[in-house]
A and B are shown apart, each in its own frame.
Chain A
């Protein structure tokens, strides 16, 4: 057992950290939000140049052979920066389907485009009735000769407004809550019959509602009746990445809060000298350190071959991250007082991002119920 980063991993963290310090201060971010797409194409190009976008793909496919730890490092850094760019949608979600589900031809065609930053991806899975259940799919895929035709609606597709290609879950057989009969399809965003409406999410990032009206899929990934396993595998990776991103956001929230407690004066002294506030800050640190541990655990468990073991672990991770994020985010606002409530100041934006992360791929209560259903973590 070894918790140390390798030399290459340290270099990755350092160089990405430097890029963020130089070009992604909170004031710069305010400018990026106002750009037409809600994020910065220049920064995206810089990520491509640094190798961030091709990082998790095999070298044979045109990537850099990074693993879960590298993804964790990137996610944590972007969490600390409140990154707006579609890294999570493209590299973690879309990239997850390419890594775990695409055949060699598809990987050969798409991975280099992702790595160079020219292709953006998204994962369209949520449906209005489905809440957090990945298997609750009513969007249908019907066979027409050699092709699959999609009909239905997907919602809250992260960065679905800009993606060039989408991975879409659709039902090929069975009832709307059956775990079998779900396929994962690759769809070109420009395909006939596809319409999308983009919008800003509550944390200032972007998403889209997408309607499929007789849309011809480009390809199906694996067995069209057994795609749920693949989708779950990708979501497990996504949960690990979100956990690391939340750690970055919590770490930044605590740093801002401590800085404020040291400098803000009331009653003639720094408010950080008051014990009631010190204990709140200490409890934030308790939460952060445990969150960090859970993010590492999540990274480790992404490689777990037993899907049920892996799912159990990710339920525990997402449950805990939801709890920690909510606590740290709320306390950060409270300890800042009024200034924490303002759009102008960073801490509220971390709070919002943490709130959104809890809501992505199942909130704490969803994963608590699922982990209970699975018999908990410590069995036998």
Chain B
């Protein structure tokens, strides 16, 4: 056992830093460092730069553009991007639908879609949740029926993140309503967002952002070739996708960046008689989160280091649900500390849809963003399998209850 990064890993970290410094535009970094989400062109530019370097999808199978790196090297790349901060490769493409197509897709699907996913030529979004199917995803109703050389899709998806940017959507549909179990009548389809019959309607979240959408399907014709895997076996694809999602949710590098930023801010932010960082109640809360983040970081590394062994045994790591729960709780706790640091000027809420003010600033940008980010990040313990669902999974899969 040696928990230090070895020379090769340290050299790689340096290589990553140099690459980011040379290829990430300053505007992207500055926007993200202020606490805003990157714009679509920023995400596209960065993913294409990564792809040109061969680093957009390190975890994919090597024959489809993966790098064959150890999990630790992949962790280093992610951590460095998050700490910079730089955008992450678009999760819908790289972490979600891409690996599903690699594992279940036809040769034609792989040949056509995978290069475009890697290079962000197509922006993908995820059509899983429905108004009546949240945690109980298998109860979804959005229906598809075969008609000649097409599936015809009717129904509604919701919470569709960044569907307003999307060229394609991967959708779970009910293809056999007569199946014995709800999980057995579901198929996984790839749908062009430009197909007639698709309507995207924004949902504005409590922070004022347009991040999620409702997507309506009204007699949408999808070529039979766009079925992934076996018809009515789409649940296998969904399970595979969701199990890939968890280590990414720890977002250790992003939390480190936010903590360092908060410390810089709090050395000057008014905290009564002293700056906030000298306010013992605030400082102790911040310190507590730092210690929690260290435990999460070490747990993430343990899960990653065990990955190869685990894949061999075909079992998930008992610690992986821990990452989702703690990763999201820690990010939420940090967002609360930003609100606390901002104090009264936190109520000058920024409009997340607007790029700064034309008039002189009313308050520092970080302060105006503190509450919107805090509001927005309540989503983290809800999405990707709510933290309560994670506890159900742990009880069944690992605790034998």
A contact residues vs B (CB 8 Å cutoff): 1-6, 9, 69, 258, 261-262, 272-273, 275, 277-279, 281-283, 285-286, 289-294, 296-297, 299-300, 315-316, 319-320, 368-369, 371-372, 376-380
Contact = CB atoms under 8 A, between A and B. Distances in A.
Interface string B1-15: 111111001000000
Interface in B259-309: 259-260, 263, 280, 283-284, 286-288, 290-296, 298-299, 301-302, 305-306
A282 B260 contact: no
Contact of B395 (A282, A294, A319): A282
Nearest to B2: A2
A289 B283 contact: no
A294 to B, nearest CB: 5
Nearest to A324: B295
Contact of A289 (B72, B259, B299): B299
B301 A278 contact: no
A315 B284 CA distance: 13
Nearest to A365: B284
Contacts of A320: 291-292, 294-295
A294 B295 contact: yes
A6 B1 CA distance: 7
B284 A293 contact: no
A258 B401 contact: yes
A283 B394 CA distance: 9
Interface string B142-174: 000000000000000000000000000000000
B379 interface: no
A289 B324 CA distance: 13
B154 to A, nearest CB: 35
A1 B2 CA distance: 6
A279 B391 contact: yes
Interface of B: 1-6, 9, 72, 256, 259-260, 263, 280, 283-284, 286-288, 290-296, 298-299, 301-302, 305-306, 318-319, 321-322, 325-326, 388, 390-392, 394-395, 398-401
Contact of B1 (A9, A290, A380): A9
A289 B303 CA distance: 10
A286 B325 contact: yes
Please indicate which of the listed interface residues A275, A293, A372, A380 has the most CB atoms of chain B within 10 Å of its own CB.
A293
A1 B9 contact: yes
A2 B305 contact: yes
Contacts of B398: 285
B289 to A, nearest CB: 9
B1 A378 contact: no
18 contacts: A3-B302, A4-B1, A262-B401, A278-B391, A278-B392, A278-B399, A278-B401, A279-B395, A292-B299, A292-B302, A293-B302, A294-B298, A297-B298, A372-B280, A376-B286, A377-B287, A377-B290, A378-B259
Given A285-B322, A286-B326, A1 B5 contact: yes
A292 to B, nearest CB: 8
Contacts of A262: 400-401
B298 A279 contact: no
Contacts of A290: 292, 295-296, 298-299, 322, 326
B280 to A, nearest CB: 7
B364 to A, nearest CB: 22
The 10 closest A-B pairs by CB, nearest first: A293-B298, A278-B395, A282-B391, A272-B401, A290-B295, A300-B3, A316-B291, A282-B394, A293-B299, A372-B287
Contacts of B400: 258, 262
Nearest to B3: A300
Given A279-B388, A376-B290, A296 B399 contact: no
A1 B69 CA distance: 13
A376 B287 contact: yes
A69 B392 CA distance: 34
